[in-house]
Amino acid sequence: MLHDRIVNYLGQTNRAKKNRILHNLPYNNDWLDTATANAKINQWVVNVKNEYKRTTIDLLRLNRNVRSHLHEYNHDDDIEEILYCEWPMLLTVMETMLHLEGELQDTGIHNKFG
């Protein structure tokens, strides 16, 4: 949802907003090292068809891919917790930046809460 709003929608409709959001996301310098060093996340990064590069877009792509294919590597349901532990501020900053750019409401995030 957040990945799609930033990468796909803003990538087509407002590249300036997309670039401001990507520029302000954390972990852009070391996320790939962290992912490679973590045994469970590493399976999504090493020897994959579409290699990950040290870019913020690929950090978002990795997070989307892991969350969309949780059971691909037969992990327990702890892989999402591992993502939160490795990159605790990522989703929060994505939400904040979308809010500051006036784009959060259009993600439908308010429908995720009771």
> Tens digits of per-residue pLDDT, 32-80?
999 999 998 998 899 899 999 999 999 999 999 988 887 776 666 688 8
Identify residue 77 by its one-letter amino acid code. Answer: D
In a domain, 95, yes or no: yes
Tokens 């020897």 correspond to 47
In a domain, 53, yes or no: yes
Rg (CA), the chain: 14
pTM: 0.87
Residue 6, pLDDT > 90, answer yes
In a domain, 114, yes or no: no
Domain count, the chain: 1
* 3-state secondary structure at position 5: helix
* CB distance 5 to 82 below 8 Å: no
Q: Which domain holds residue 84?
A: 2-107
The percentage of the chain sitting over the pLDDT mark of 70, rounded to a whole number, equals 93
